[in-house]
Structures are given as C-alpha cells and as structure tokens.
Amino acid sequence: DTEVTQTPKHLVMGMTNKKSLKCEQHMGHRAMYWYKQKAKKPPELMFVYSYEKLSINESVPSRFSPECPNSSLLNLHLHALQPEDSALYLCASSQHTRLAGSYNEQFFGPGTRLTVL
Amino acid sequence: QKEVEQNSGPLSVPEGAIASLNCTYSDRGSQSFFWYRQYSGKSPELIMFIYSNGDKEDGRFTAQLNKASQYVSLLIRDSQPSDSATYLCAVIWGSSNTGKLIFGQGTTLQVKP
C-alpha cells in the first residue's frame, strides 16, 4: 500500500461551522504533513508531525488545529474559518524528516478542496 | 531572492522533443531535491528525487544536480502530450531534520502534438 488517502474530497462550510479533515497512510511512515495550496500557487507547508509529535507550525492561525492520534492518522480541525481559507488542503507523509539521504521523499494525498462561504 | 526559483513558463515543446526544466535554490546547505508533477485540479505527484551531484535517470526522466551552482534540472525525453502539466521543484530546507519542503512557483509545460 503506497497511498495517502484524504477525506472528504470536497467540503463546503460556513464561517461558524466546525469541521475536520482526515488523512491516513499505511506505509509505516513516521512523518506527516499538512499543506495549503491556492490556485496557481505552489503548496505551502502548514504543519509537520514527526513520530506523532508536532515539530513545525508555520505560524498558522489557531482556527486550524492539527491532531495526530497515531502514526497512521492525521486530522486537521477547522473552526471559524474565513473565505480566504478556501483552498486545496494536502496531506503528505514520508518515512522520516532527515535532511539528507533517502526515504525523506514526501508523498501527497489527493487533497480536500475546501470552500468557506 | 526567492528560496526556490523556477521560470513559470509556459514552456512549449513539440511532441517527441526534449523538455528542459530548471530550478535554482538559495540555501547552500540543502541536500535533498525533488521534482513533482501536478495536473490541473490534482495533487502533486513525485516523479524524481536526487541527493548527489550529477545525473539520475528514470525512464524518460533525468534529474541533474549541481550543488556548487545551486542548480537542479529535469529533462524529459520524447515528450508526450500527457506530460503537459505543472512541474514543481522542491527542496528540503534548512540545516536540521525538519522535513520542511519548500516549493518553487512551478513551470507549466505544454507538449504540442
């Protein structure tokens, strides 16, 4: 199994809603990531989890709350979002986060397309 | 200076030609380099990674790395219309084991039949 799965594929929510995005991998990877991608822009890193611990928060607003319940699962909890938060949210995983050498390549899931009304 | 720079394109090549995509990066300490392909409306797909100076070939794709010049490139031989996509260069950033991946703006490749 070399796949990263994400649910839901599409999500429409109001600014007062609370929703969650889910990401799962069964490759035994110990690093998982959340990225945000706006149209015609590259992905931008939001959070990094390494061995289920949050290692990087790229100054993301608190209305985005990540959670890593176990080594295979990654959630992103959403609350009181703004219309400008509408984007494609990508989850990725890698074997580890080492700077050099093999097995640090990141594999992306299909993404959740989020629309905030 | 941007951290990872690519020409946005579009780069247009005829079917069967070689497409050459280029990328420069500003962090001399970077050691891991990746090329992703992204079709419109889809997520990035890893197509090549390279860690050592020189060339790395995989099928029709060749990645080239020159750390002294801080330059990485991707050659696509025998380009096909199905290769038409945005190609993202990405670099693991910094001098510690953070996994922080920084992307260039992407180069749009158009392969014309």
Tell me phi and psi for residue B41, to 5 degrees. 80, 0
pLDDT by residue (tens digit) across A36-56? 999 999 999 999 999 999 999
Contact call for B43 and A108, based on CB within 8 A:
yes
Beta bridge partners of B75: B20, B62
Query: B108 vs chain A: nearest CA distance in angstroms?
Result: 10
pLDDT of residue B97: 77
B6-44: string of b/e by CB count within 10 Å (b at 16+)?
beeeebebeeeeebebbbbbeeeebbbbbbbbbeeeebb
Residue A83 DSSP SS3 = helix
| Per-residue confidence band for B95, with pLDDT thresholds at 50, 70 and 90 | low
Model confidence at B103: pLDDT above 60: yes
Measured CA to CA, the distance from residue A77 to residue A60 in angstroms comes to 12
* E strand residue ranges, chain B: 4-5, 11-14, 19-25, 33-38, 45-50, 54-58, 61-66, 71-76, 85-92, 101-103, 107-112
Contact call for A48 and B99, based on CB within 8 A:
yes
Mean of pLDDT values over A80-103: 89
Contacts for A112 with CB less than 8 Å, ≥ 6 apart: A6, A7, A8, A9, A10, A11, A21, A88, A89
Tell me which residue in B42, B88, B97 faces A99 most closely, judged by beta carbons: B97
Q: Average pLDDT of chain A? A: 94
Query: A18 vs chain B: nearest CA distance in angstroms?
Result: 25
Mean of pLDDT values over A78-85: 96
Measured CA to CA, the distance from residue B4 to residue B6 in angstroms comes to 7
pLDDT of residue A102: 72
Contact call for B46 and A88, based on CB within 8 A:
no
pLDDT by residue (tens digit) across B47-58? 999 999 999 999
The strands making up B61-66's β-sheet, listed across from edge to edge, are B4-5, B19-25, B71-76, B61-66, B54-58
Chain A residues touching B10 at Cβ < 8 A: none
**DSSP code of B95?**
S
Distances, alpha carbon B2 to alpha carbons B5, B7, B71, B96, B103, in Å: 6, 12, 14, 20, 10
pLDDT by residue (tens digit) across A52-61? 999 999 999 9
pLDDT of residue B99: 84
